[in-house]
Amino acid sequence: MPEEQARRAPSLDDILLVLSELEKHNVTYALLGGVAMAIHGFPRMTKDIDCIFPRDPDNNARLMAAIAAISGKLRLDYLPQKEWLDQGFSTAAEGEIGIDILYVAASREFADYKNHIERCEIDGITVNVLDIEGMLMSKETGRPEDIPDRIRLSRLK
C-alpha cells in the first residue's frame, strides 16, 4: 500500500485550479483567508484555500461537481458528503492540499458578506473575493493569528 503523502501549502497553480473549477461549475462562493489576504497585497503563508458558501442544496451540488473535477487533478483523500453540506456543516476537502468549505466565518454567514464580495482577476481567472471591509469582518475572531491581518487590513481602509 502506498504511503500517504503529507499535505502541503497550496501553490498559485493549486489556487488557480480550485478557483477556476468553482467558476466553471457556476458555484456561488467568496474567497477569504490567507489567499484573499495575498490578493489584497499582503502575501503570507497559508495552509489551505478558504471559501465561504451560501447554504443552498443546488449550489452544493455544483460545489461537489467542482470538487470532483479538482480531485481528478489533485489528490484529495477526504471529500465532504453532500448531506453534510446541505445541513450547513463547515468542512473541508483534504489531501495534497486543503480546501476549507465554510458556511460560517467569524459568526457570520454568506448573506452577511454578500455586499462585500468583489470580482477580481488572478492570472486570467475572474474570481469572487471579500473586499477589505468583508475581510475585516471575517477577521473579527478571538484567534491570535487574525490580529496581524486585522492590523494590515485596517491600514488599507
The boundaries of the domain holding residue 129 are 12-156
Answer whether residue 3 shows pLDDT above 70. no
What is this structure's pTM? 0.93
Q: Which helix (H) or strand (E) holds 36?
A: helix 33-39
pLDDT at position 4 is 55
Residue 6 lies inside a defined structural domain of this protein: no
Residue 3 lies inside a defined structural domain of this protein: no
Residue type, 42: F
Residue range 28-56, pLDDT digits in tens: 999 999 999 999 998 888 899 999 999 99
- 2 pLDDT band (50/70/90 cuts)? very low
Q: Number of structural domains, the chain?
A: 1
Residue 91 lies inside a defined structural domain of this protein: yes
Residue 28 lies inside a defined structural domain of this protein: yes
Q: Which residues contact 63 (CB under 8 A, 6 or more apart)?
A: 22, 25, 27, 29, 53, 85, 101
Residue 4 lies inside a defined structural domain of this protein: no
Residue 7 lies inside a defined structural domain of this protein: no
**Number of C-beta neighbours around residue 115 at 10 A:** 9
